[in-house]
Structures are given as structure tokens and as C-alpha cells.
Amino acid sequence: MTAPPAADARPVRTTCPYCAVQCNFDLHIERGLPVKITPTRECPVAHGTVCKKGLAALNDVRHPNRLTQPLLRRGGELVPVSWAEALAYIREALTPLLERDPARVGVFGSGSLTNEKTYLLGKFARLALKTPNIDYNGRYCMASASAALNRTVGYDRGLGFPLAEMGESDLIVLVGANIAETLPPLVQHLSVARRRGALVYAIDPRATTTARVAGQHLAVRVGTDGVLALGLLHLMKRWGHIRPTAPAHGLLEVLEQADAYPPGRVAAECGIPEADLLTLAQRYADAVRPLILTGRGAEQHAHGTDTVQAWLNLAYLCGHFGKPGGGYGTLTGQGNGQGGREHGQKNDQLPGGRSLRDPRHRAEVAALWGVSPDDLPQPGLSAQNLLNACGREVEALIVLGSNPVVSAAGAGQITENLRALKHLIVIDFLPSETAQLATLVLPGSMWCEEEGTTTNLEGRVQRRRRAITAPGAAREDWRILCDLAAAVGRPQGFTYSGFRELQDEFFRATKGGKADYSGLSAERLDRASAQWPVPSATGPDTPHAYAPTYPTADGLATLHVPSFPLPTPPRTLTLTTGRLGGQYQSGTQTRRNPALRAENTAQIHPDTAREHGLGPGDSVTLRTLHGQATLPVSISPAIRADTVFLPFHWPGAANLLTDPYTLDPVSHMPAFKGTPVTLRPAHAPACAPARPEVALT
């Protein structure tokens, strides 16, 4: 017999804590605790669909490992202390460094933060700490696509059109985007398109779940996605399909480069049959509303910006960019990855998508904050460079909602760098691997314990509503940042009467910026979500963001000629990394969640397994120039024989092997993909997946 609901039972409409689709659901509260999640058809993006990660999110809310009080390292151990002791440590640790050289202190944020926390973290770094060194883990997500869009059309909104328009496309090309596992609710839009007769291609070295859903698959060699785009542009030019979206700089140079990429060369470099290339090209030429969507597979390379640029050039030169359906878009990964890169936690950015290098932008934000523009530091180190500098140029690091011990390239080296810091201060709600290295851990708030807004991959701003209070001595993250400002003796600008005052300041701070949210309010978002820019409280939002003219000096786009490395020598094994459907990012939450089990294995082709004497479940040691890792193999014909795939959700595995020093020169994205790797059978027995439960005492 089902028990009747408690007298205080109530639903709270909020947003999912996981991917950038940002599904809505109702969180049902009884006796002050969440008891279940139910999807809602009123969700403007998923229409009642919530994936298994979202439905399992309640398992984390009262996890036994939940951080509920500050922890300070004493005698080599993290021990519970009061907030007064924790803040005294902050004062004693940071004040001398800030007085000597603020650049000795760094801040590392997250694409999971609400817009308001993103804004406050940037303000905290630049006003309270006065440090130039702030960046965030979104640098590892879609920084390359963001850089390509910014330099081409002046700003970046991952999708410049509503998600529903995906279903109206007659050809969808997914370039390194495994949406069935990483953004599952988007599959419904693919299904709508296919029912209307659309063709869907997955461009990926692996036949992923998405490739099976798509129906068409091109298994290109790792790192050659941009070469494929140049080959398609070559054929579009040869067949007379060049009709640019609008006048632009660089058109002739880009088209001239394409002459050097005939089908034979492209097929050989990409490792695909020439006939398959010609078929895709003919289908793109025939399509009325083709849509290209890039993901991390195309972007997480040392040439990721140029790879995106090549696909963006193709869409623009064939007249599809910015039209209904978009022509081109990039698929943001993290929950607030879009808003997280707009409002100030990037090393070169101010709220509203402003540039820290632009004197006018500096003056606008300085006026709001009541300081001189000269008081704002210039851009500092980007994410990977910041972590590389830890323990040397940077002596103290504050980490909010991120786990670079797992997620950063060259994780072994980065772990040693973090150990070498004088002070590592981590604000989080679960004990991540990074928190275990900290000198001070501050217990923060989870998604259902705070107010705020998030911005999804189509630039849609939605409300996140607080449903419960943080347990024990845990505090809302925004309050912790204000406490830290007071602890270092710089409380001015961080004494809010409540969250609403902070939120209203954030909306005002975006006014006049490219990512203008100033027409928004909690009340307006209660009525309906809105796609930015929203410059007026009474005016409309902007579903279609990329119609000419563009926010550039002359209103024109600028296409750039991409550059790619020489093809990998034949028979070279190449490591690529990615996500699994049952896990998320560095796994701090999902590895603890009993409803989200997954195996950490190295996926290889049967031919590769035979060549190395490996069978299913055998342990293999993988080596690169940057480190080594040993784990079981899984053998599948769904991957190229020259490719090894590792999921990046576990410590001590994928990112021990990736390169911490080779970065994309424009986006500063590390080369997570395309690392040469060697295999050898391990002498030890096959190892089971690492247990996720980690307790801090």
C-alpha cells in the first residue's frame, strides 16, 4: 500500500544538473527532502524527456560522502573545522600573497556553475583578489568552436537557432558528436528529421550509439575532420554550389585553399573510401536545409579551432549559415557551458561576452563595479597554462566545482603541480580527487539547493529554483565567495542582502554586451524561457542569432584559412578520448551513483587485439610520451583498427596519457585527442573498474 504524501509535499520546477540540453523536471519535496523526479511536457527543449542521468540525479543529493563542513589539512590529514577557522586560514594564507603579487593566486571555475555564480566568480577574482589568473574547465569543452565563431562572426552562441528546427533539416552531419550518449534528449529531433526523410551522418572514428541512430557513418581517421570539410568544399566549388550567406572577408583565400583538396587526397588522408566521400558531397549539394553540428571529437585537438573553421566556412560559402535550421552549430556539453563562457570566468572576458582587452568594455564594467578601468587586471593564464603554472608562478589556487585531477590534460603532471601549491582551496559538494589534495575544502551547494539561471546549448536562459537547503554547515556557493572576499579584507561589492540583489546586478552587468541578458528577470523567466540576446524587459528574445549583419567592426564575417598537420603515418595507433552514456565529465557525481554504472576499458578493434595478443577482458598497458595507464580491454569492430578509445571519467586512466603542453594556438584547447599510443599486454591479472566511493575524514 502506497503511503499518502506528506502534508508539506510540493513540486519545484527546476533544471537538470547534467548536460547542456538543460531539461526541466519537477522535483517533489516531502518533509524537506526530495523524493522523486518527474519530467514535464512543459519543458521547452525536451518536451517531457529526461535521460537516465537526470532521472538518477537524486541519488547524489544526500549521498553519504556529501561534504557538510569545512575540512582543513592538519598533520597531513583533512580534519573538520568551523567556518571561522576556515576563513581565518583564508585570511592568513592569501593576504600576504595578494599584497606581494596577486598573480600568485589563481581561480579555476566550471561550466556547471549558474550564470550568477559565473559572474560573481569573475568579479571576485578581479576585484577581491585582483588577479589576472582565472579560467575554467569549459576551456576543455567547446573553446575551439567558440574561438572559431568569435573570430568569424563576432560572437558565439553554440546553436544560433531553436533546437526544434533540427527536425526540419533534410541532411544532418554530426562531426565528432556522440549525442545519443552525451546529449540524449536531442535524439528525438534526429528522429523527427529522419521521419521526414532526412539523412543523418555520424563522422566519427567509432561506430558509436549515435552512428547507429544516424544510419549513415563515416569512420574518418582521428584528427582529419577538417580535411573532410575541405574536401567537401572542393567539390561544392567544382560543382557550382558556392553561394555565400553574405559578403565576407577571406572568401577567395578559403576557396583557393580548397583547390588543393581533391577527393583522392582527402579520402586517403581521412582513411575512407573515395566513393563514400563523393556520396556525402552529393547529398550536401542536393540538400535544401543541411545542418552541420560539431562536437568535442572535432574540437579537442591542437588544431580544433581550424577544424571548426573548415566546417563553418563550408556552411557559410554554401549559403546555409544563419538560415532557419542554422546551417552550422556546435553542441555545448556541460550543463551551463554556454552561460559559463559568457560572463567573466574566462581569462579574457567580462560579463555579457565582453572582452577584457577592449577599453570600452572595461570602462562599462568598471563603472558598474565602482572602480577605475585601470583597476581591472589584464587577461591572465588560460586553463591549462594556469594548471601548468601551479606550484611555480602560481602559489595558491581556488577551485570551484571542477576536478582537474581527472579532467585536465596530462593529469599526472597536473596532480603533482597541485600537490606543490602552498594553498589549494576547493569549494565542492562531494569529495572529488582534487578535493582530496586540498589544504582547505569548503562545503558548497548542489543544483537543487540554490537559485539561479542556466543557459542551454541554444542560448535559452531558464530558471533554476532552490528546492531544499544545503545540509549541515554547507553554504550556497555565492555566499562562500562573498565570505572569501571579506576574509581577504575586500568586502566592497560582495555584501548582497540576498540572492535576488546579486541576480539583478548580474542582469544589469550584461547590458550592451553581445550576450545581453538585461531584459530578463526572475519574473519574466517564470513566464517563459528566453534565448539571448534579450536587451529589453518588454521586447522579444532572439531565437535566430546569426542573421547578418554581425557584431564586427564593419558588420561583415571574416572567414579564415584553416591549417592542419600532416597525416599520421600508416599503422600508427592513435588515442582518442570521450564520454560514456552512463557517466558525466570527471565522474565526481556519476561514479558514486548506483543507477549509473559503466566500465572503464580501453576499446580496440579485433585486428589490433590479435596483433597484440589480447583477448576480451585482458589487461593492457597503454603508453604515450606523457604517461601510462593499465586497464582492461574491450574488443569491438565498431572502432577503426588504428584507434584506441578511452573514456575520461575515471582517475588514473585517460588523461594520464594526454598532452598537457600542446595547445590550440587560438582557443588554448589541449590536444585531448590524437595522441600516439603504444599497447602491451599487462602481466597483472585483468583489473576491475576502480571503485568510485571516496571518503574524506
C-alpha of 601 from chain center: 23
Question: How many other CB atoms are there within 10 angstroms of residue 379's CB atom?
Answer: 16
DSSP state of 639: B
C-alpha of 38 from chain center: 26
109, 425 Cβ separation under 8 angstroms: no
Q: Nearest-5° angle of CA 221, CA 286, CA 200?
A: 50
pLDDT of residue 247: 97
- Give the whole-angstrom CA distance, residue 691 versus residue 433: 13
- Give the whole-angstrom CA distance, residue 41 versus residue 24: 9
Number of C-alpha atoms within 13 angstroms, CB side, residue 571? 1
Which residue bears the cell 600576504? Answer: 96
**Dihedral sign from CA coordinates of 209, 210, 212, 218:** negative
Q: Which three cell numbers stand for residue 615?
A: 583477448
Q: What is the pLDDT of residues 377-434, one digit of tens each?
A: 999 999 999 999 999 999 999 999 999 999 999 999 999 999 999 999 999 999 999 9
What is this structure's pTM? Answer: 0.94
Q: Which three cell numbers stand for residue 469?
A: 537547503
pLDDT of residue 587: 78
From residue 84, how far is each of 71, 397, 493, 696 by CA, in Å? 12, 20, 21, 20
- Give the whole-angstrom CA distance, residue 299 versus residue 332: 11
453, 115 Cβ separation under 8 angstroms: yes
- SS3 label, residue 575: strand
Question: How many other CB atoms are there within 10 angstroms of residue 242's CB atom?
Answer: 15
594, 59 Cβ separation under 8 angstroms: yes
Q: Nearest-5° angle of CA 219, CA 587, CA 676?
A: 40
C-alpha of 357 from chain center: 24
- Give the whole-angstrom CA distance, residue 400 versus residue 108: 6
According to DSSP, the residues that pair with 680 across neighbouring strands are 621
Q: Which three cell numbers stand for residue 223?
A: 584528427
- SS3 label, residue 368: helix
pLDDT of residue 649: 85
Residues of the chain with pLDDT under 50: 1, 684-697
**Dihedral sign from CA coordinates of 512, 514, 520, 521:** negative
From residue 387, how far is each of 105, 107, 488 by CA, in Å? 12, 10, 23
According to DSSP, the residues that pair with 308 across neighbouring strands are none
Domains detected in the chain: 10-60 (2.20.25.90), 71-140+336-429+473-505 (3.40.50.740), 143-330 (3.40.228.10), 574-681 (2.40.40.20)
DSSP state of 540: -
Which residues, 6 or more positions from 115, have their beta carbon under 8 angstroms from its beta carbon?
336, 339, 340, 342, 343, 452, 453, 454, 455, 461, 506, 517
- Give the whole-angstrom CA distance, residue 5 versus residue 29: 10
- Give the whole-angstrom CA distance, residue 421 versus residue 410: 17
Number of C-alpha atoms within 13 angstroms, CB side, residue 463? 19
Q: Nearest-5° angle of CA 371, CA 373, CA 377?
A: 100
- Give the whole-angstrom CA distance, residue 450 versus residue 470: 8
| Cis peptide bond prior to 533, omega within 30° of 0 | yes
C-alpha of 291 from chain center: 21
The DSSP H or E segment spanning 74 is strand 71-74
